[in-house]
Structures are given as C-alpha cells and as structure tokens.
Structure 1
Amino acid sequence: MRRFRNFNDDTSASEINISPLIDVVFILLIFFIVTTVFVEETGVDVNKPRAASAEDLNKNSILIAVTSNGQVYQGGRSIGVAGVRSVVAAMLESDDSTPVIIQGDTDANHGLVVQVIDAAKLAGAKTVNLATAK
C-alpha cells in the first residue's frame, strides 16, 4: 500500500477569497439604504406658540408650515393654501393614517391656519395636529 505524503509547498501563496465579504457588505448597504427613515422638515423657521399640553408625535408625518406673512410651506417650497389639499392627498396615497402636523407661527393669521386645517381634512387626513413649543 502506498502512502501519500502531504508536502507543503511554500511557493504557492494562499489567498483569502473576499468576494463573499464584498457581497455581504453590498447587501447590508442596500438594506440600510432601504430601511432608513428620512425626517422631512417644512423648510422654514416658524415661531411656534407655547402649550402646556404639548406632546411629542410620530416622526412619520406630513409637516406644513404657516408663516407670519401668510405663506404656506411644505418640504421647503411654498404651496399656498390652494396647494395643501393636493399635496396632502398625494402624500396620503401610500399610508392614509399618516398624521398632518401644522406648524403655525405665533403671528400667523388664525383664519389662514383654519383654512389649511380644512384643506388637509378635505384631502383625507384622519388626524390634523397643531405644533407647539413645550
């Protein structure tokens, strides 16, 4: 019976195959990109009034800002009162339980804030909240 000898040949370099590692890193990158939640801001600074009953709300919400000079903003662009209904309706298509948060400036016209609330409700929003400072 012959015996086989196992010779270690020092001339052959052993390599580590990193292809599976690159695949795993790529899959993790895709996973983190897909599952990341981006917080959307209104794009303008609003001086919100203070309220003793203020509560923190869900991060996934539709933010609309009403400034003191009568401008209505969503996502950094001026949409006006006429654009509130279409913007809210489009954003509610994916999830109709998303709350709408209106950030009204302390010096904003009360009638304009009510018009924005009304337009959001007519667009199908189940929950409309007013943002305040704690």
Structure 2
Amino acid sequence: MKRKKHTAADDEAQIDMTPMLDIVFIMLIFFIVTTSFVKEKGLDVNRPDDSQANTNKPSKALSIRIDENGIITMGGREVDIRRVVANAQTFLAENNTDSAAIQADADTEHGVVVEVMNQVKIAGISKISVLVKES
C-alpha cells in the first residue's frame, strides 16, 4: 500500500477574500446613502474682496461702544438701546456711509451686542464690524 505524501502546499488553507470585500463595499455604500447632511446654522460673514483693500477711499463709519455693563455710547453720549435706530438714521442723514463699527467690552453680554447689530441693520447700515476690547 502506497502512502500519499503531504506537501507544504497541500497543508496551507486559502481563504477567498472576494465575498468579504463585497460585503465591505456594500456596507460602505449603505452608510454613504443613509448619511444625512445637516446645514449648520450661524451668522453669515461677508469678507472683503482684495479689490476693496486697494482703494484708498476714506469712509466715515458709525462708531458704537458698549461697556461691560451694557451701556451704549454713540457719538460721545449715552444712548438707550431703543434709540439706536434713530441715532443711526441721524448719522446716515449727515454722513454718506454704509458701515458701522461696534466696539464691545469682553465682559459685555452677547445679547446686547446682537440687539445693537439688529438695530443698526434696521437703520439701513449693511456692513457691520464687531470689535472686542480686552479687559
């Protein structure tokens, strides 16, 4: 009786990787299709173009200061938050500008700053800059 000799090639077990790769690709397609993309809510930021930086046209901007207690100062005098629109419209009537600079203290409540921004937009000023003064 002859015995069959086992060679090294016969002892190695081979695994077919094709079904596993198929499953991985199917799972990848499933996750891509079922993923939902959500648009984040936030403030829109308008950055200036490079062409605007080269123009040396001086423009007088409306200056508004807000201290840490929420006191609003426009033109060197204290203004109530409900009178910001009227004061901004008066400034616009005297000066040809479309920009405003709001300088707020670092400890100012954000709600006050946002409310002042809204009041200035209602007055008709489209470009608003917010500066934060470090304490």
2:76 aligned partner: 76
How many residue pairs align between the two structures? 77
Q: Deviations over 1:91-134 (max 9, x none)?
A: 1124453311000100001000000000000000021111246x
Q: Tell me, yes or no, if the aligned pair for 2:69 and 2:108 is still in contact at 8 Å.
A: yes
| CA distance 1:69–1:102, change in 2 (3 Å) | same
> What per-residue deviation string (whole Å, max 9, x for no partner) do you get for residues 2-39 of structure 1?
xxxxxxxxxxxxxxxxxxxxxxxxxxxxxxxxxxxxxx
> Could you tell me which amino acid in structure 1 is paired with residue 67 of structure 2?
T
Which letter maps to 1:115?
A: E
Hey, what's the Cα distance between the residues in 2 that align with 1:72 and 1:119? 12
- Alignment correspondent of 2:122: 122
Identity %: 26
In structure 2, list runs of 5 or more residues that go unmatched: 1-57
Q: TM-score, normalised on structure 1? A: 0.52
Deviation per CA, 1:57-113: give whole Å up to 9, x if none.
x66111001110110001221102111100111111244533110001000010000
Between the aligned partners of 2:62 and 2:84, the Cα distance in structure 1 is: 11
Q: Secondary structure at the match of 1:69?
A: coil
Structure number with the higher strand fraction is 2
What is the RMSD computed on CA atoms of the aligned residues? 2.1
Question: 8 Å contact 2:60–2:95 — kept in the other structure?
Answer: no
Higher RCO (Cα < 8 Å, 6 or more apart): 1
Structure 1 contact 97–127 (Cα < 8 Å) conserved: no
Give the unaligned 5+ runs of structure 1. Answer: 1-57
Decide which structure has the larger Cα Rg and report it.
2
Q: Which consecutive segments of 4 or more residues in structure 1 shift more than 3 A? A: 94-98
